[in-house]
Structure 1
Amino acid sequence: MESHDNAAHDPAPHDPAPHDNAQTGPGRPLQIGSLLFEELDQIDLTGPFEVFSRISNSTYRIYGKSTAPVRDLHGLALTADATLADAPQLDLVHIPGGFGQEALMDDDEVLNWIRSQAAGARCVFSVCTGALLLGAAGLLVGRRATTHWAAFDLLPYFGAVPVDERVVVDGNFVFAAGVTAGIDGALQVAAGLRGADEAQTIQLWMQYAPEPPFSAGSPHTAPAHIVGASLRNLATVRRQREATARRVADRLGVTV
């Protein structure tokens, strides 16, 4: 994927979003960056990319441990623009999820990068199990958060307060639940940074007006046999994630 520099003549901001009282004006450029890793879920990355690449007066780039191509969990090849070490201090840091998140839960290079970026960022945004990476970095303690429904029960191991909503805002942290929720969360982040009018303009250009043919997008609304089969298919990764979450909880001194 290529980096994008968005000119200042793109849509201008208006009213700030409720979660950002220090809205960034159009004259201040934004540095936006996403983390890339092997076996992420590409929609966790590319869904928000559709939003963030359209934010006015901003530079968007993708950062990885290297610039060698990686493949998402279904085989799509993606390439970082630069390495983690080459990233400037980002105004908005985006942490996607996917099965590959598990391999990074003890990766000091990645976790230290997340901590460092989060310390200086205006907004930290996670999608799906990207929230677990924030948890492994020790950034969820005491925070309201959400993640993919299949990992939602793990949030307390990281000291988080689980909130079963599609998008959860806690200070300058924004959490989107599973996969497509990243688009909703990214639009909310855009509104916080550039105003509701700009976010709505981006939504219009994307023609983001979902009308799914089924109501199976949540375990609360999907047929029970579909939920059951999905849980059985995910049993191995769920056990592995729980074991990792318990280990992180011990490291953080979190009692569940």
Structure 2
Amino acid sequence: MAAEIAVVVYDGFDELDAVAPYEVFSNAAARGCDIDVSLRTLDAAESVTASHGLRVEVDGRLADADPDLVVVPGGGWNDRADESAWAETQRGDLPRELADLRERGVELAAVCTGGMLLAEAGVLDGRPAVTHASALDDLEATDAEVVDARVVDDGEVLTAGGVTSGLDLALHLVARLCGDEVADDVATTIEYEPRGEVYRDGE
């Protein structure tokens, strides 16, 4: 059975935070990696508008999926925009859903300030984590253990730094799911060289 990956999107998410992992996972699936990736929203919507104006059609609600892994993008955190990761923390519905998913054993991964949504959900408490450099002070104000890394793998919860680090996160996850050969093939196809070592607690 394919591993189900849901990239949860909302109005104001950063385009690259979500689209870059989506493309990596799609490329991996095309190379025989047994995964299925979709774009999901918390509430019913045909499309959402990202932080730079890109309108994206979605595949359905998160509640209607049965994901093994949920990827959370950031966006608009420092602007405190009305539609943004910050706004989603203020509304609270998405963090509550993420906390519930973790309770049910779903793996969670965040890109950029999507990590702040995981922090708001409480799933980073006591865990090593990272977010966009401009939001590290905010992350340090939570119960997360902030580390200097581009990607942090704490087993069932992963975080990545700013924007393009979503590529590194997704390639790392592909390597975990389907092996280094598939991940290397995808990296070659998208002409991207992963940057930095992945931080694992205790290593």
Bin for the TM-score computed over the shorter chain: 0.7 to 0.9
Give the total of aligned pairs.
183
Superposition CA RMSD, Å = 1.8
What is the aligned partner in structure 2 of residue 228 from structure 1?
Answer: none
Structure 2: which 5+ runs fail to align?
Answer: 77-83, 195-203
1:118 aligns with 2:102: yes
d(CA) in 1 for partners of 2:142, 2:38: 28
d(CA) in 1 for partners of 2:40, 2:100: 14
Deviation at residue 148 of structure 1 after TM alignment: 0.2
Give the greater-gyration-radius structure (CA): 1
Name which of 72, 75, 79 aligns with 2:57: 79
So what's the TM-score if we normalise by structure 2? 0.84
> Among the aligned pairs, what percent are the same residue?
35
1:137 aligns with 2:137: no
What is the aligned partner in structure 1 of residue 199 from structure 2?
Answer: none
What secondary structure does 1:66 align onto? coil
What secondary structure does 1:70 align onto? strand
d(CA) in 1 for partners of 2:163, 2:105: 23
What secondary structure does 1:93 align onto? strand
Deviation at residue 122 of structure 1 after TM alignment: 5.6
What is the aligned partner in structure 2 of residue 62 from structure 1?
Answer: 39
Q: Deviations over 1:60-85 (max 9, x none)?
A: 11111222322111111112210122
What secondary structure does 2:90 align onto? coil
1:198-209 to structure 2, matched below 5 A, reads: 198-209=182-193
1:101 aligns with 2:85: yes
What is the aligned partner in structure 2 of residue 33 from structure 1?
Answer: 6
1:47 aligns with 2:31: no
> Does the CA-based 8 Å contact 2:34-2:178 persist in structure 1?
no
Runs of 4+ with deviation above 6 angstroms = none
1:169 aligns with 2:142: no
Structure 1: which 5+ runs fail to align?
Answer: 1-27, 211-256
What secondary structure does 2:118 align onto? helix
d(CA) in 2 for partners of 1:174, 1:160: 12
d(CA) in 2 for partners of 1:164, 1:199: 24
What secondary structure does 1:31 align onto? strand
What is the aligned partner in structure 2 of residue 160 from structure 1?
Answer: 144
d(CA) in 1 for partners of 2:183, 2:133: 26
